[in-house]
A and B are shown apart, each in its own frame.
Chain A
Amino acid sequence: ELKVEQNPLFLSMQEGKNYTIYCNYSTTSDRLYWYRQDPGKSLESLFVLLSNGAVKQEGRLMASLDTKARLSTLHITAAVHDLSATYFCAVDLSGNTGKLIFGQGTTLQVKP
């Protein structure tokens, strides 16, 4: 059974600081996704990582994928309050149908 585990589950940080969210998964997959969810809202796609060594950056967020270690990271640089949200990673179980297994989510709170 594929398991996807994120840590930490909750992160409170000061504006301007850096931090990393980790996403570990238990079986082979080379397709990983990061989503953002604001309270009471739907999910917004942040990054799609399709191969070992993939790195993508958007603003203060950077995501990477190491398929050999079965690990993805979401790095936050110089956090700002607007980044406060819950972040989910999801792994594609099937490889060609988009059947995703989600992690539990990491709730990020950025304090002024």
Chain B
Amino acid sequence: NAGVTQTPKFRILKIGQSMTLQCTQDMNHNYMYWYRQDPGMGLKLIYYSVGAGITDKGEVPNGYNVSRSTTEDFPLRLELAAPSQTSVYFCASSDSGTGGSYEQYFGPGTRLTVT
């Protein structure tokens, strides 16, 4: 199993451009998450999904959109990129797990710079 995969690994955007960060998991997990990590900080939840067709906002959703049409894929869309969106983006997935653990498995991350 590949686990959670993310593309691209790195990207530089100009202010105002748009892009989609891809996330795919092959563990048949119902739950998927997008986080951002700013330098020297912990992760902040952007959006999450509890199953195909169901998404909801996390702590910092402004400037982002998501969709979940399949169990495997959970793309994150940035519209009108701003320098404040320069960050490392992590996708994660989980299921309810043993005893309801909801243990999350993280992808390798996408490092995004907006200039």
Contact = CB atoms under 8 A, between A and B. Distances in A.
Interface string B65-90: 00000000000000000000000001
Contact of A97 (B31, B42, B92, B107): B31
A50 B102 CA distance: 10
A101 B44 CA distance: 7
B103 A101 contact: no
Main secondary structure of the interface of B (DSSP, over half): loop
The bracket for how many chain B residues form the interface is: 20 to 34
Interface string A58-97: 0000000000000000000000000000001010100011
B94 A98 contact: yes
B41 A105 contact: yes
Interface of B: 31, 33, 40-45, 48, 50, 58-59, 90, 92, 94, 97, 99-109
B43 A99 contact: no
A48 B101 contact: yes
Contacts of A31: 101-102
Contacts of B109: 42
Contact of A105 (B42, B45, B100): B42
11 contacts: A31-B102, A43-B92, A88-B42, A88-B43, A90-B43, A96-B100, A96-B102, A99-B58, A101-B45, A105-B40, A105-B41
Contacts of B100: 50, 96
A74 to B, nearest CB: 15
